[in-house]
A and B are shown apart, each in its own frame.
Chain A
Amino acid sequence: MTSGLLIFTLLLVGAAVWGIALYNQLVLLKNNTDKAWSNIAVLLKQRNEELPKLITVCKEHMKYEKDTLERVIEARSKVASAMSSGDLNALGAAEDQLRIGLGNLFAVAEAYPELKASQGFLQLQRRITSLEDSIADRREFYNDAATINNVRIDQFPDLLIARPLSFKPYRLMTFSSAEKADVDVAAHFQS
């Protein structure tokens, strides 16, 4: 009788400890994903702080490119508001807009030799391009972390804990169609 009770207790303890272990793992995944997101957020913030400096440098030389500069400024403020609201869809769209705007700005800058020769502009261009690369790298890391979390909370037996305790899936940072499209090499050679 005593051994039966002991065994029953041990079974209960075992089941409880497995449940706690599963819960802790889900919390760890959630924290990993949050941390991966903050890795991106810190870079987005740094880039947004650099952009006004770039705009100021460009304004001094590019008197006739008001539209290009305004598009970058507009996209920058959209990124900032999407970040503060935590809306990943809006952030993705604003990021695409900003990337296109920056691409245009750097392309237009080629026509201004004084600007191209400016040390400040070159340093800012390098800095922003390097931040863009890092954001792309960390977006991949964030998407991995979010996917792992999303799969785990839908899997059995994890969903027995995830559903009642309201573990939420994370949205992925999606690539824009322009980034996923095949490169049209021929177009680059057209005059």
Chain B
Amino acid sequence: MQNIGVFAWEQVARNQFASVLRRAGLLNFAAQLKFVPLWLLLCYLILLNKPIWLLLPACFNLWFALGFFKRYRLMLDTPHSFISHSAQGYVSLRGRALLPAGESVRGLVNLPVTLWIPGYIEDQPFVLDDGHGRCLLYPRQAEIITSPADTYLDWLHAIYPGQELYVLGDMRTLKADNHQPIRHRMAELLSRWKLKPKVLLEAYDTNGNGRLDEEEWQEVCKTAERVAQEDLLDEQPAVGTHVIEQPSGGRLFMITNLPPARLAHRYRRAMWMHSAAWLGLMAIVYSASL
């Protein structure tokens, strides 16, 4: 657990805006309604000076609108999966955030336990439990959109244990290699057993001559083959560790503690708003030039 002094509280608060902006991206800031007055003010100032320069914010509006369109469609078009299905590839998941097994405390001293807090604990993996299974989330390269929890720290953007999360990302299941040929397994077993000749003689020296004859040795080999076969069958159904990571090909890796319906609505609204702003600004520039 990281310790912060009393005065560092101001620093945590100051860091919040920059860190949240860095992890969620400018795009997610532009999706919020509080962005509108700032943008209008900027456009008004440009209009007063050089209206032609309004084409620059118009380009930004187009970029924002495309970004929101991409996110909105991804949320709608990515099939929902359960962790236990272990469907490999790009999936959307919903579940509760938890600390990994063996870890009971994480976060900053004097704060409730937090799994992820921008500016301080950003890269450590945590667990997602969807009621059907568990997977490890590696948030290092994720776009993380948080809203403050309903606590006395209503300014703090963080992910707490037990919070419902929505995740878009690449799911992989790591499995131990269970395709080792049976002959290799047998050879390993036999070389291990040879280290204990007394035990081998006790078990397989049926004629009691103090050594393993050809037939007795064949019996040892048969047992080794059976044990190797059983080991292989035991390993096959073992459930691997599920991991959610940054997808390849530049696809979006998103983690949010906002309800997905609310976030999708926000993206949709922002997409229309910025598309309208793009066209509106171009209309203003055109009329100003006449």
A39 in contact with B79 (CB, 8 Å) = no
Q: How far is the CA of A2 from the CA of B290 in the complex (A)?
A: 11
- Interface residue? A145 (CB, 8 A): yes
User: Majority SS of interface residues in chain B?
Assistant: helix
The contact string, 1 if C-beta is below 8 Å from chain A, for chain B 64-87, is: 001001100110111111101111
Which segment, of B51-59, B95-103, B154-162, faces chain A? B51-59
Q: Given A10-B55, A127-B237, are A25 and B79 neighbors across the interface (CB < 8 Å)? A: no
Q: Which of B229, B237, B282 contacts A10 (CB 8 A)?
A: B282
Q: Given A17-B62, A21-B69, are A144 and B84 neighbors across the interface (CB < 8 Å)? A: no
Q: Given A3-B285, A7-B282, A32-B79, are A126 and B89 neighbors across the interface (CB < 8 Å)? A: no
B222 → chain A closest CB, angstroms: 14
Q: How far is the CA of A11 from the CA of B62 in the complex (A)?
A: 10
A134 in contact with B85 (CB, 8 Å) = yes
- Interface residue? A14 (CB, 8 A): yes
Q: How far is the CA of A8 from the CA of B267 in the complex (A)?
A: 27
- Taking CB atoms, residues of chain B closer than 8 Å to A28 are 74, 77, 90, 251
A7 in contact with B286 (CB, 8 Å) = yes
Q: How far is the CA of A10 from the CA of B66 in the complex (A)?
A: 14
- Interface residue? B233 (CB, 8 A): yes
- Interface residue? B180 (CB, 8 A): no
**How many residues of B are in contact with the other chain, CB < 8 A?**
38
Q: Given A36-B87, A39-B88, are A3 and B233 neighbors across the interface (CB < 8 Å)? A: no
Q: Which of A13, A14, A35, A124 contacts B90 (CB 8 A)?
A: A35
- Interface residue? A138 (CB, 8 A): yes
Q: A residues engaging B (CB < 8 A)?
A: 2-4, 6-7, 10-11, 13-14, 17-18, 21, 25, 28-29, 32, 35-36, 39, 119-120, 123-124, 126-127, 130, 134, 137-138, 140-141, 144-145, 148, 152
Given contacts A6-B285, A21-B69, A123-B233, 6 further A-B contacts (CB under 8 A): A3-B55, A25-B77, A127-B233, A138-B85, A141-B81, A145-B79
Q: B residues engaging A (CB < 8 A)?
A: 52, 55, 58-59, 62, 66, 69-70, 73-74, 76-82, 84-91, 229-230, 233-234, 236-237, 251, 278, 282, 285-286, 288-289
**7 pairs of A and B residues whose beta carbons are closest in the complex:** A144-B79, A35-B89, A3-B289, A137-B85, A123-B233, A145-B79, A141-B87
